[in-house]
Amino acid sequence: MQHSSIVQILKVNDSRSGIGKNGKAWTMQEAECILLDGDGAVSQVGVLDVPKDMIGLITPGNYTATFSLAAHYQTRKIESRLTALTRIPGKSERSVAPADKA
């Protein structure tokens, strides 16, 4: 089951990487976000974990974010995971229809 939400990404933090206790390499990135309700009002503010396949590809802006549920590989706790981002064009990005010529 998937769920969609509107998010405004304010800032994408630099990615971080290292070597875990088990010797396995890891990389992570987070984005500072606002969750918007159906009317576009601020619902919540928080940090979104960027999926590994999206690290370095996300930029600030408004998006429709799609999430699914999955068990965390270490804790087995069920968590929502970002699966897709679809950019919502800003006013300057929207195409404007040409004016009628009389």
- pLDDT tens profile 14-35: 999 999 888 989 999 999 999 9
Q: Considering the chain, what is the average pLDDT of its residues? A: 87
Q: Is 72 helix (H, G, I), strand (E, B) or coil?
A: coil
Report the C-alpha gap between 88 and 67 in whole angstroms.
Answer: 17
Q: What is the pLDDT of residue 55?
A: 95
pLDDT tens digits, residue range 77-97? Answer: 998 899 999 999 877 665 555
The position carrying tokens 């010529």 is 101
